[in-house]
Amino acid sequence: MADELICLDSSILIDYFRKAKKENSFFFELSSQYSSFAVSIITEFEILSGSNQNQKGFWDKFFQHVLVIPFDSKANEEAIKIFQVLKKNGNLIDIPDLFIGATAKAYNLKLATLNEKDFVRISGLEILVKKNK
């Protein structure tokens, strides 16, 4: 099992939460290959702001077991660079995805996502996607 820290996008967490059989989720597959996970504070915001009171306990427990990376000046600088390139190319992505991708890239982390079509636009960002969709 690799000791590499992997950043998880919101789509990975939502998929894991919704699957009745957790072993069918991409997160379950990743957890058999990697031992350490992180999320951007933006991902934590997306998940918690979209959760109801019944779901909050599940997510509070989940976020205790992953590193939550703040959106700091290092991530912000990366986001600005990415935004400028995407804008120049006329290929913008949603701001939360921009911030999540920038955080992963700023800290040299691979980003696991089910949203390949947006994150693939970020040059130099290494993404992990499910092989058998």
- Per the structure, how many domains does the chain have? 1
Global pTM?
0.93
Q: Indicate whether 92 belongs to any domain.
A: yes
| Higher pLDDT, residue 128 or 3 | 128
Residue 35 has φ and ψ, to the nearest 5°, of -110, -15
Give the Cα separation of 93 and 116 in Å (integer): 12
Q: In what order do the strands lie in the sheet with 67-69?
A: 67-69, 34-40, 2-8, 110-112, 127-128
Give the Cα separation of 7 and 128 in Å (integer): 10
Q: How many CB atoms lie within 10 A of CB 36?
A: 13
Q: What is the pLDDT of residues 13-39, one digit of tens each?
A: 999 999 999 999 999 999 999 999 999
Number of alpha carbons in the 13 Å side-chain half-sphere of residue 19: 15
Q: What is the mean pLDDT of residues 27-54?
A: 96
Q: Indicate whether 89 belongs to any domain.
A: yes
CATH of the domain at 26: 3.40.50.1010
Q: Indicate whether 24 belongs to any domain.
A: yes
As a whole-number percent, the residues of the chain with pLDDT over 70 amount to 98
Q: What is the pLDDT of residues 75-120, one digit of tens each?
A: 999 999 999 999 999 999 999 999 999 999 999 999 999 999 999 9
Q: Indicate whether 133 belongs to any domain.
A: no
Provide the pLDDT for residue 11.
Answer: 96
Q: Indicate whether 118 belongs to any domain.
A: yes
Q: Indicate whether 60 belongs to any domain.
A: yes
* pLDDT grade for 133, boundaries at 50, 70 and 90: low
Helices (H), the chain: 10-18, 26-31, 41-49, 53-63, 73-88, 95-106, 116-119
Give the Cα separation of 118 and 109 in Å (integer): 17
Domain that holds residue 21: 2-128
Give the Cα separation of 92 and 80 in Å (integer): 12
Number of alpha carbons in the 13 Å side-chain half-sphere of residue 39: 24
Provide the pLDDT for residue 3.
Answer: 84
Q: Indicate whether 83 belongs to any domain.
A: yes
